[in-house]
Amino acid sequence: YLLWKYENFLEGQGKSGYSPTRFDKIEKPELEHIAPQTENPETGYDSYDEEFVNQYINCLGNYLLLSKSHNCSVGNKPFADKRNSYNHLEQQREIQKMTAESATWTKELIQQRKDKIVKFVIENVDSGGFVEVYDDGTCSFKEVFENRTFADGTTFGVKVE
């Protein structure tokens, strides 16, 4: 749900007069791991060292909203193949833009995307003080929270592990 709201936010950048994409536009939505959970030797991803596996694979910045059929079709493919298929939603095109200079999905790009999504949450969600923002611009969710409200009145919950 959070990535769908982020999709609506990206769609609205610099545009007006369009209705936000409805959640049911995406058939059987799933979370895609851009860098797959299982290392692919035909890479396009950062080295699957301990830091990458433990801190970046299940990071918010490494998740992408896809339909179930799209997610199944890209699976564990090299990043170049996945990237070429990311052309349906704004957040998919965001990945293309982020990797225009280099066709490698890196720790830095995952962190950069996570920071953008968290900034979106901070600016658009009434978190009731559950989001901690630090002086260096980073932030974290203090705990699990439910039924928080977006600026448009819709609600959601977050579970951070």
For residue range 53-65, list pLDDT tens digits in order: 999 999 989 998 8
Residue 28's pLDDT is 83
- Report DSSP state, residue 1: -
Q: Are β-strands 29-33 and 63-67 bridged in parallel, bridged antiparallel, or unpaired?
A: antiparallel
Full-model pTM: 0.71
What integer best gives the mean pLDDT of the chain? 76
Identify the residue whose tokens are 């339909």.
67
For residue range 4-44, list pLDDT tens digits in order: 677 767 766 666 555 556 556 677 888 889 999 988 777 89
Q: Are β-strands 155-158 and 145-150 bridged in parallel, bridged antiparallel, or unpaired?
A: antiparallel
Strand residue runs (E) in the chain: 29-33, 63-67, 125-126, 131-133, 139-141, 145-150, 155-158
Residue 161, pLDDT above cutoff 70: no
